[in-house]
Amino acid sequence: MSKKVAVIAIGGNSLIKDKAHQSVQDQYLAADETAKHIVEMIKEGWDVVIGHGNGPQVGFLLQKAEIAEKTASLSMAPLDVCGAQSQGQIGYQLVQCLQNQMKKAGINKPAACVIEQTIVNKNDPAFQNPTKPIGGFMTEKEAKAKAAELGWTIVEDAGRGWRRVVPSPLPERIVELDAIEALIKAGIIVVSIGGGGIPVIEHEDGTLEGIAAVIDKDFGNSLLAQNLKADMLVISTAVEKVAINFGTPEQKWLDTMTLEEAKAYMAEGIHFKKGSMAPKIQAIINFLEAGGKEAIITNPENILRAIHGETGTRITK
């Protein structure tokens, strides 16, 4: 890419602040706040591709489908279809908010959402060990009935009930990469890679088929940044900076980190939680090892300050 390109990964939870703010209007307000900070980057000459999480939104879709199935005998949509629905929903919200914020800023630049599929390996070890909980809680009887009827893998979740778990395979190829790249070259702000992408497998004849799985959105956005040869990968999360020894008396916030330091911290296995910061650090390691220049981790309101080196954690080679 000849332009200054940043891939920005925002969490699905960043659109839902807490349990008291889960409505569509609340999500709009959160998306608008995030869009405002991204537009500040655009004003400074960056072309951006925005990826987003979708965990809470897919959870809502599944729970609504479960209720509809029980009360109206409507069949549930497959998980890959729910992923596509969430990509459309969140993409629409983000694109509209970006358009409105750019208009306020006097920027004449289009934005578009690309519904995106990500190819995963059907032989990925994750398919032998599903770990990602999705959907609502069930009684043991309901869960075992679903397992028998639909082949679900079900687990008991810390005494709160039973839940379905699905695999979380690694992303291998972005199906719509050429379309995303063409839009960026045309000067269009792109929203894509929702939830890490809709997981699909590729058959020997080249045809694709959706599969029940969840891709880590940070790995999906890292792969996109690698493919685009982006200048920067920005991972927007709930904290302003990364800390080592988090939650202990030895906790230390980091302004900078080298690739080798990041790998060493990951190898120690005590600094970053598997379900939160660890995949973000690993996604950045993957990006830098594939030729990426630099990456930043910070919260949405500090994205521009982090770009300027005023806050956030910057990871470089």
The answer to whether the CB of 285 falls within 8 A of the CB of 259 is yes
Look up the domain containing 135 and give its range. Answer: 130-166
Give CA–CA dist 124/40, Å, rounded: 40
- Tell me, yes or no, whether 45 and 135 share the same domain: no
Q: Are residues 90 and 141 in the same domain?
A: no
**Long-range Cβ pairs for the range 158-165 (8 Å, 24+):** 161/137, 162/137, 162/138, 163/133, 163/134, 163/135, 163/136, 163/137, 163/138, 164/133, 164/134, 164/135, 164/138, 165/130, 165/131, 165/132, 165/133, 165/134
User: Tell me: the pLDDT tens digits for 37-52?
Assistant: 999 999 999 999 999 9
Domain-located, residue 317: no
The answer to whether 236 touches 305, Cβ cutoff 8 Å, is no
Check whether residue 187 and residue 172 sit in a common domain: yes
43 is catalytic: no
Asked about 217 being catalytic, the answer comes back as yes
pLDDT of residue 70: 79
- What are the residues facing 174 on neighbouring strands? 118
pLDDT digits (tens, 9 = 90+) for 250-292: 999 999 999 999 999 999 988 998 878 999 999 999 999 999 9
- Clarify whether residues 180 and 192 are in a common domain: yes
Check whether residue 155 and residue 260 sit in a common domain: no
CATH number of the structural domain spanning residue 172: 3.40.1160.10
**Same domain, residue pair 52 and 110:** yes
154 lies in the same domain as 251: no
Our answer to whether residue 132 is catalytic in this structure is yes
185 and 108 in a single domain? The answer is: yes
For residue 51, give the 3-state DSSP assignment. strand
Q: What is the pLDDT of residue 1?
A: 45
Q: For the residues 135-162, what does the mean pLDDT come to? A: 86
* Active-site option among 122, 132, 263, 293: 132
Same domain, residue pair 87 and 172: yes
Residue among 91, 217, 220, 241 flagged as catalytic: 217
Indicate the pLDDT class of residue 312, thresholds 50, 70 and 90: very high
User: Are 183 and 190 spatial neighbours (Cβ–Cβ below 8 Å)?
Assistant: yes
Does residue 306 sit within a domain? yes
Percent of the residues in the chain that have a pLDDT greater than 90, as a whole number: 70
Of 85-94, 270-279, 308-317, least confident by mean pLDDT is 270-279
* 316 occurs within a structural domain: no
Q: Which of 91, 280, 286, 299 is catalytic?
A: 280
For residues 81 and 154, state if they share a domain.
no
> How many domains, in total, are found in the chain?
2
DSSP state of 132: E
- Please indicate, yes or no, whether residues 101 and 197 belong to a single structural domain of this protein: yes
Could you tell me the pTM of the whole model? 0.91
Q: What angle do CA 11, 69, 78 make, to 5 degrees?
A: 50
Whether the per-residue pLDDT at 221 is higher than 70: the answer is: yes
Q: N- to C-terminal Cα distance for the chain?
A: 20
pLDDT band for position 216 (cuts 50, 70, 90): very high
Residue 57 forms part of a structural domain: yes
Q: pLDDT confidence of 18, banded at 50, 70, 90?
A: low
Residue 146 has pLDDT above 90, yes or no: no
Q: Single out the residue in 113, 142, 166 at which a domain terminates.
A: 166
Tens-digit pLDDT profile for residues 158-206: 778 898 899 999 999 999 999 999 999 999 999 999 999 999 999 999 9
Active site residue 252: no
